[in-house]
Amino acid sequence: MCANIVVAEDDAKQAELVRRYLEHEGHAVTVVEDGRTALETVRHQEPDLVVLDVMMPGADGLDVVRILRAERREVPVLMLTARSTEDDLLLGLDLGADDYMTKPFSPRELTARVRTLLRRNRRGPAPAPATVPAPASEPEVAPDDEVLTVGALRVDPSRHEVSVAGTPVECTPGEFRILAAMAAEPGRVFTRARLLDELHGFDKYISGRTVDVHVMNLRKKIERAPRRPARLITVFGVGYKLTDPAKNVRHASS
């Protein structure tokens, strides 16, 4: 899978190492040295993925990912940092990063994570038309079998789209993976470990708090009152489940 990748890294030796490994994988790589140039390059090129160092002059990596998400750009972001505390990692994820690697890192692991991000965020071609055409008197209807519906919430894995009551909801790839997994089995309680399995490639010492951050951000997007969630519910001591608020109200009143 060849991709257009922007690498933002102010350490020349580190940037060259990343560039060489990614180009060996067949990707087209643009290297920039500061945050402001990274933003301009992403806006101009609309790349398939960004490898983003946290500590950079001009604007650091956290500022860059914050701005990209504020601009509703869904490009996957893999962050690189010398910071290794869990709070630093969770901050990057909270801002919208899709994966996080701490320095020093293995270039082979970096390329593996890039492959995973590209594969999971690649939008496939539109479904081929049916071999038997519909009668001329009936309009053709796009297949809706893969759309996951939980009350007013709709998750379309093939188009990577989410909406609530018809209103589009922008999700990061990590948020989308968690939401799609839960929407496929509404009412099921997912442990944090199970939801972490839906994510990928995070450093081994990141805990279930990673999931908590994604859930918190999802609630801001799909709940009317995020502090009193009615759709994405905590099951204390176990994990989370996705439900239809309308059904919850009917059950409570019966």
d(CA 100, CA 79): 5
**SS3 state at 59:** coil
**Which region among 4-18, 24-38, 173-187 has the lowest average model confidence (pLDDT)?**
173-187
| CA-based end-to-end distance of the chain | 53
Q: Which of 167, 164, 160 is nearest to 151 (CA)?
A: 164
Predicted local distance difference test score (pLDDT) of residue 92: 76
199 versus 137: which is more confidently predicted?
199
Q: Which of 81, 100, 87 is nearest to 199 (CA)?
A: 100
The CA distances from residue 177 to 104, 108, 143, 195, in Å, are 28, 24, 21, 9
User: Do 242 and 186 meet the contact criterion of CB atoms below 8 Å apart?
Assistant: yes
For residue 164, the number of C-alpha atoms closer than 13 Å in the C-beta half-sphere is: 16
pLDDT digits (tens, 9 = 90+) for 18-35: 999 999 999 999 999 999
pLDDT-based confidence at residue 106 (cuts at 50, 70, 90): confident
Q: Which of 40, 36, 82, 44 is nearest to 60 (CA)?
A: 36
Give percent of the chain above pLDDT 90. 42
Token digits of residue 111: 């390329």
Pairing state between β 167-169 and 161-164: antiparallel
